[in-house]
């Protein structure tokens, strides 16, 4: 069940280091978000995972999607749930492979990777410390039933989206914050005047959020 992945080790190896797990978007691969690795804090293990479903031109997907469908029919829910569980298994096994602190694992997801980051963290908040969900949305259909009863006191979210995103409408993204607020989850939401991508200011804001979390 393990996922193929790339690793950037911390500049200073501790007995247990924090980890950032990068989850790419539909049709992309593990190289995409890994290109940011050199710009991320040096104390982290940076681990970029490859999605399990092959697509043309060296691309991969976490699950099939239908771009012509509405929000509720957009995703192959069975494949999405399977990928959610594969990511959880991957998270569980990482501290056995690397000197990673299992209490300090963060998910950084783009698009499909963001959608699954929501699903993993809300289903298993004891396994994830924080989530950066970029250009995605919260789909509660792929979160475990009864997730509302979980203890979210240690979980925090950074959410960002392009206001003119032509792939995942910004209206879908905006629905997440009220849900997280109701669940009592610490979160912040940002919009940028871009399409389906990570603007430079978005990346800088994300990096600042990460830095604050290390020193708060």
Q: Tell me how crowded residue 4 is: count the other CB atoms within 10 A of its CB.
A: 12
Q: Which residue has the tokens 């992309």?
A: 28
Its pTM stands at 0.94
Q: Could you tell me the residue range of the domain that residue 126 belongs to?
A: 5-214
Q: Is-contact 158 187, C-beta < 8 A?
A: yes
What secondary structure letter does DSSP report for 146? T
Q: Tell me how crowded residue 124 is: count the other CB atoms within 10 A of its CB.
A: 18
Query: How many domains is the chain built from?
Result: 1
DSSP, collapsed to helix, strand or coil, labels residue 120 as helix
Q: Residue 78's domain is classified under what CATH number?
A: 3.40.50.1820
What secondary structure letter does DSSP report for 133? E
Q: Is-contact 53 60, C-beta < 8 A?
A: yes
For the stretch 137-165, pLDDT in tens is 999 999 999 999 999 999 999 999 999 99
For the stretch 101-139, pLDDT in tens is 999 999 999 999 999 999 999 999 999 999 999 999 999
């Amino acid at each position: 069940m393990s996922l193929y992945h790339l690793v950037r080790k911390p500049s200073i190896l501790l007995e247990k280091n924090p980890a950032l797990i990068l989850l790419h978007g539909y049709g992309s691969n593990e190289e995409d978000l890994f290109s940011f690795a050199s710009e991320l804090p040096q104390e982290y293990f940076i681990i970029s995972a490859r999605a399990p479903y092959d697509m043309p031109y060296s691309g991969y997907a976490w699950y099939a999607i239908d771009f012509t469908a509405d929000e509720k029919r957009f995703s192959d829910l069975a494949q999405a749930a399977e990928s959610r569980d594969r990511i959880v298994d991957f998270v569980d096994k990482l501290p056995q492979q690397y000197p990673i602190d299992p209490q300090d694992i963060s998910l950084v997801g783009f698009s499909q990777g963001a959608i699954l980051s929501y699903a993993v963290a809300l289903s298993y908040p004891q396994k994830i410390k924080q989530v950066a969900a970029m250009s995605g949305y919260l789909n509660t259909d792929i979160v475990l039933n009864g997730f509302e009863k979980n203890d979210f006191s240690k979980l925090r979210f950074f959410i960002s989206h392009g206001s003119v995103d032509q792939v995942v409408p910004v209206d879908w993204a905006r629905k997440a914050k009220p849900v997280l607020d109701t669940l009592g989850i610490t979160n912040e939401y940002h919009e940028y005047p871009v399409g389906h991508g990570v603007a430079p200011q978005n990346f800088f804001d994300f990096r600042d959020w990460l830095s604050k979390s290390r020193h708060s």
